[in-house]
Amino acid sequence: MSNTISSNARRHVLKGTVAAMAMAGLASWTKLGFAADAKPLPGYADWKIPGDIIVHSNNTLETKRSAYGTSVITPNDQLFVRNNLPPPDAEILKDRDAWVVEIDGVAKPAKLTLAELKTMGLETTAMVLQCSGNGRGFFPHKPSGTPWKVGAAGCVVWSGVPVRALVQAHGGVKAGAKYMTGTGGEKLPDGLDPLSVIVERSVSADAMEDALLAWEMNGEPISLAHGGPLRLIVPGFTGVNNIKYIKRLAFTEQETKAKIMSHGYRITPIGGTSGPDLPSVQQMSIKSWINAPLPEDGAIKAGRVQIHGVAFGGTHAVKGVEVSTDGGKTWTAAKFVGPDLGKYAWRQFVLEADLKPGEYQLASRATDTSGESQPEARVENKSGYNNNSWLDHSIKVSVA
Ligand SMILES: Nc1nc2c(c(=O)[nH]1)N[C@H]1C(S)=C(S)[C@@H](COP(=O)(O)O)O[C@H]1N2
Ligand SMILES: [Mo]
């Protein structure tokens, strides 16, 4: 894998730099982006760029806001990671083409190898992968779960076989199937009810129209961290619906009874109890945020400033983005930068501003093609899902 070679090389360079910096004192480490108490990257993701990642735990790695560039695609070694269970053994990547996925709930159910899938269709889709809890860190009631700010998201290009081609080749979806249910390939811990831990999610069966079983991510075979050798991609839906190391794809009459579906990812009132009757976190909503300038960059020099960020609409394309420098009192249309990779990708935007010395509150507010705009206020909910408040994502900066 070219990724391993290049990132190993970079890591060695980085390690050398870090060692040199260590001799020069801890202050320089912090400059490189290493907090003195920063946790190390877990082994399965040790090829990520440490200075660009916040390690919340072995299973939750966040991209730093300052690490998002302006070239649309989020590089693999900067992309966030979220695992509900430890990933499977790296052995599963030894012979990728031998990976088996079961297709069920179609007229002719089958077990297919990745090698066979590769003969059945090919499509490439750019898509924002975003955890349902991205922005949870802005909820004042401090929900349990990772306090992600903006960095549980990235724009990724996936290649694989369209699910609709697979379904067609197997005689079509069985009558009465309302859901597409994907099952993750993790080894489940012994002694527990499998339904209480398995990563299995159902989405509306219509989502198959744009869904992929993907084996390639940003030009490389999918890494273990991101669900290789095979991953379900459901464009426009939040992260958890994109099942890694998928071992079964089934069209089902009912939603899975897995706890991660029945109780996890439900919009629950604060203080309430989650359950299957509450709304499930599925499609993403219109959202944007500014990536530069940031308060952590220190004082900004007065004069011309390029205020830039990202905007995406979930299942709709982004139509426009407005930027405010006065905390939302006045708004100016931003312009898009760079290529449009389709409605599921994010767009970079920029507003050129001439800023005099002073204090500013920078905010962005996106609108999608269905007319939805980001709200000022988050929708309060127990677990801190779906935060797309423009106010929460605004930042205060000083210009000197
Ligand atoms: N099999 C499996 N798939 C999974 C998960 C998991 O724990 N196991 N986590 C989900 C969640 S909650 C998110 S946000 C995304 C994260 O994808 P990434 O780790 O590639 O960034 O994967 C989803 N798919
Ligand atoms: Mo997630």
Summarize pLDDT for 214-263 with one digit per residue, the tens. 999 999 999 999 999 999 999 999 999 999 999 999 999 999 999 999 99
- Closest C-alpha among 131, 96, 143 to residue 115: 96
pLDDT above 90 for 14: no
Question: For 14-20, what is the mean pLDDT?
Answer: 41
Closest ligand to 385 CA?
2
Distance (Å) of CA 184 to CA 50, 171, 200, 201, 355: 27, 24, 6, 9, 50
3-state secondary structure of 380: coil
Atom of ligand 1 nearest to the CA of 227: 20
Evaluate if pTM is beyond 0.75: yes
What's the pLDDT band for 299 if we cut at 50, 70, 90?
confident
CA contacts within 13 A on the Cβ side of 215: 22
Ligand 1 in reach of 284 Cβ (< 6 A): no
Whole-Å CA distances, 141 to 124, 144, 209 = 40, 9, 38
Is 124's C-beta closer than 6 angstroms to any atom of ligand 1?
no
- Which among 74, 43, 52 is positioned nearest to 219, based on CA atoms? 74
Answer yes or no: is the C-beta of 131 below 6 A from any ligand 1 atom.
yes
State in Å: Cα 54 to ligand 1 middle. 17
For residue 391, what pLDDT band results from cuts at 50, 70 and 90?
Answer: very high
User: Confidence class of residue 26 from pLDDT cuts 50, 70 and 90?
Assistant: very low
- Identify the pLDDT of residue 36: 56
Q: In this model, does residue 317 exceed pLDDT 90?
A: yes
- Can you give the pLDDT at residue 197? 97
> Is pLDDT at 18 greater than 60 in this prediction?
no
Cβ–ligand 1 distance for 184 under 6 Å, the answer yes
Of 147-161, 288-302, 319-333, minimum mean pLDDT range: 288-302
What pLDDT does residue 387 have?
Answer: 98
pLDDT at residue 89 greater than cutoff 60? yes
Task: For each of the domains in the chain, give its residue range(s) and CATH number, in order of start.
Answer: 90-262 (3.90.420.10), 287-399 (2.60.40.650)
Ligand 2 centroid from CA 372, angstroms: 23
For ligand 1, the distance from its centroid to the CA atom of residue 251, given in whole angstroms, is: 20
Cβ-in-10-Å burial (0-12, 13-18, 19+) of 388 comes to: buried
Least confident of 7-21, 99-113, 207-221, 373-387: 7-21
Q: Taking CA 23 as the corner, what is the angle to CA 21 and CA 29, rounded to the nearest 5 degrees?
A: 35
pLDDT beyond 50 at 325? yes
* pLDDT at residue 102 in the model: 98
Q: What is the pLDDT of residues 30-83, one digit of tens each?
A: 434 455 568 999 999 999 999 999 999 999 999 999 999 999 999 999 999 999
Distance 393 CA to ligand 2 centre (A): 19
pLDDT on residue 35? 56
| Mean pLDDT of the chain, nearest integer | 92
Q: What is the pLDDT of residue 8?
A: 39
Q: Pairing between strand 246-252 and 100-104?
A: parallel
Which pLDDT does position 224 carry in this prediction? 98
**Exposure of 55 in the CB half-sphere (CA atoms within 13 A):** 20
Question: pLDDT tens digits, residue range 144-196?
Answer: 999 999 999 999 999 999 999 999 999 999 999 999 999 999 999 999 999 99
